Structure 1
Amino acid sequence: MRSEVVIVATAGRSPRIECSGGIAARATRADTVHLVSSVATPLGGDTISIRVVVEPGARLRVRSVAATLALPGPATAESHADWVLEVAGELDLDPEPTIVAAASRHFAATRVTLGADAAVRLRERVQIGRTGETQGFWSGSLHADVDGAPLLRHRVELGEGAPGDDVIAAPRACVSELTYPRTDPAPLGTPLMLAGGGSLSTWQGDRL
């Protein structure tokens, strides 16, 4: 299944939303949109594509109503989620965690384009496995530019098959939070000040 969501925030009006496939989006406040899974997704073979546009002077908060559960499909264990964020105003993106269950292999990619006056907070939380599960794999990349100049190129891989994996002590959970232009650290994690402004805080451990 392919699911697509487009959210456009314009100053002075409610967000415009278009959805197809297994993901729906609902405006819950004037500046807030919640994502809702209408079916079980992502399963192996599924692709989720989400595009968020925040126009100049607009403010948008994006949340989800529940955790995302990635499961293997009948033909493949691999699923994908792609986020494209075009921000000229202010965006706060903080969905519930992604749980990579059973032997799923989930690949997430986020591409952020920021205008010169944009502000953003992006938080991503991932857990490999439900209780007693350790065989899942997750790969997450974050590519961010500001006014045409590179800000960040970041990738994390967790779980079975990741470069740093081992059966004794490798982390099975992570939290990444990007803020721009603010540099105050996130409550959880090790902060890294970015040369182009803003900061990236990262944390890894066994369980969220």
Structure 2
Amino acid sequence: MKRIFFVEDDASLRKGLTFALQQKGYALTIAQTCAEAKARWQAGGCDLVILDVSLPDGSGFDLCRMIRQSSRVPILFLTAADEETDIIMGLDIGGDDYITKPFKLAVFLSRVNALLRRSGNFSQPDAELHSHGIDVQRLQRKVFKNQTPVELTTSEYRLLCLFMENPGQVLSPEQILGRLWDCEENFLNSNTLTVYIRRLRAKIEDDPSRPQRIVTVRGMGYKWNAGEEEK
């Protein structure tokens, strides 16, 4: 039985979604506030986290940061804010998807099912990635460039791992967005992806204006250049 950690302060919405999730056979741990969520949170105790962003004593973003200190479990945000900056911040700090209120129950359940299908990948043993002077220690979630630590946001980190897992393969913007985030296209689109890639290049390239690791393939997308040592 899949286990869901659900934090929502709206009694009516919480009751309705709880009933729908239980009807699907999911086991729920429920909290109504940040304080209650922190008291009930146990790393490794669930397969999915659903967080309301606006809570009476804090923010779902704060809970997300806390959870990411000990777990890679998928996180779905419920938010009344549809501003692009809020959505990007939620993904940057470790969220995996979001859904904007009001939403249709079928859409909500579809997002839940999609994240749970991928949840096994989050709990698999971490490996290390090495390519073109970049080292990723996924168990510790650490990145090094020529043995020097590199600080990345969660979204930049995921993007880097995706490229390094597929060296030499051209990935279209649609493929990248679809594999990293299940989000509405009007907020996470090719323009937003361009911003993420520019940020990542600024941190891992020797000369971001002439990238040698994340290479643009005109009209097609991007690819990771593994470097001479791996050819």
TM-score, normalised via structure 2 length: 0.30
> Which structure is larger by alpha-carbon Rg, 1 or 2?
2
TM-score, normalised via structure 1 length: 0.32
Q: Which has the higher helix share?
A: 2
